[in-house]
Amino acid sequence: MRIGIIYTSISGNTKELALLINNQFKQRSLDVYLYSIEQFACHRLDEFDAIVIGTYTWGNGEIPDEMMPLYQEFKKIDRRNIVTGVFGTGDSFYPHYCGAVDMFRDLLNVKTDLSVTLKVELLPQQQDIARCNKFVDLLLARFENLILH
């Protein structure tokens, strides 16, 4: 099983979360690849069995500009055989808390086999490690389910 984590981060919160999730996959000895969005070519989605997207939220609950090509790529495809998950950091001071996670969730739910989402308030804390663990477990459970059917 080949897993790709693609994230964006400006001030480091989402990067920290991406690293925690990456570690959880690695602890299970899985074949996981971590990319910042600048390192990832969108046409490569088909090389992965599972894609995990990490994003902060910008503007008024919006997806950051640099993630739009990836969002548009998912709009074009129809891949119910790719298991996906989406995580993000945000600030609940804003009316649309982690709005970018919600937008990816809604799209991936239609275009892929979306298994799990995770929202974290700003910088991940100790208690978020257990949530990352659960995130990875749920994604893997969905993958196993897909294989069996």
Ligand X SMILES: Cc1cc2nc3c(=O)[nH]c(=O)nc-3n(C[C@H](O)[C@H](O)[C@H](O)COP(=O)(O)O)c2cc1C
Q: Which residue is nearest to ligand X (CB)?
A: 90
Q: Which two tokens stand for residue 17?
A: 């979360």
Q: Does 91 bind ligand X (CB under 6 A)?
A: yes
What x/- string results for residues 16 through 55 when contact with ligand X is judged by CB under 6 A?
----------------------------------------
CA–CA separation, 31 and 33 (whole Å): 7
41-44: Cβ within 8 A, 24+ apart: 42/69, 42/70, 42/73, 43/73, 44/4
Please report whether residue 98 would count as binding ligand X according to CB under 6 A. yes
Largest CA distance in the chain: 43
Inter-residue contact 74 to 112 (CB < 8 Å): yes
**Interface pick for ligand X out of 42, 61, 66, 73 (rule CB under 6 A):** 61
Q: List the one residue from 3, 4, 13, 111 that touches ligand X (CB under 6 A).
A: 13
Q: How far is the CB of 1 from ligand X (least distance, A)?
A: 27
